[in-house]
Chain A
Amino acid sequence: AQTVTQSQPEMSVQEAETVTLSCTYDTSESDYYLFWYKQPPSRQMILVIRQEAYKQQNATENRFSVNFQKAAKSFSLKISDSQLGDAAMYFCAYRRFTGNQFYFGTGTSLTVIP
């Protein structure tokens, strides 16, 4: 089975500052997808960003960007200009290119300090 590891159970950041959440994964595949999901207190799971492993360019969505290091099997999420609404649990996830199952990390709880 694939494993996804988020080594930071909790993180905090000052409003307007930048924070990076870490994620590593284990796979023998060369093609796959990686995702970051946000779960605010409402519990709704919201897709933040997606990366295809075959793309060398790091994905970016507004203030959210990733640092995808394929050889190191690392997929970190950078949140710039942090806002109070960014406070949430963040989950990293992996999916094989030809598979159906998604594998999730245990999450990182992000607190934004006003």
Chain B
Amino acid sequence: NAGVTQTPKFQVLKTGQSMTLQCAQDMNHNSMYWYRQDPGMGLRLIYYSASEGTTDKGEVPNGYNVSRLNKREFSLRLESAAPSQTSVYFCASSGETQYFGPGTRLLVL
């Protein structure tokens, strides 16, 4: 039982490059989330998915797209990375309680 897994753990991009962050959960949760956390700050919700086939914008969706591929997987895509997207990204899933992946550190140069 791995819980929530994320790949990659660390990534360096150049401005304008694209990439997809992958997330999977094995807890049979309906809801999944993507957050970003900047230094000294709390979590900000980018997108969430209440169930397979649905996605909704969170607080800071600009510059990101998501795909809820199936019940287990929820990916986050940066189409054209910008330095302002340098952050730590967390995927989470929830039933009544939210559980988090280990995070992805993204550096955009």
Contacts and interface: CB of A to CB of B under 8 A. Distances in A.
Interface residues of B, number: 21
Nearest to A4: B42
Given A91-B42, A100-B94, A105-B42, A44 B100 contact: yes
The bracket for how many chain A residues form the interface is 10 to 19
B97 A106 contact: no
Contacts of B98: 35, 47, 93, 95, 102
Contacts of B92: 45, 102
Contact of B43 (A35, A42, A44, A104): A104
B2 interface: no
Interface in A37-92: 37, 42-45, 47, 50, 91
A4 to B, nearest CB: 9
A13 B90 CA distance: 29
Contacts of B33: 102
Contacts of B43: 91, 104
B102 A43 contact: yes
10 contacts: A33-B97, A37-B100, A42-B102, A43-B102, A43-B103, A45-B92, A47-B97, A95-B94, A102-B33, A104-B42
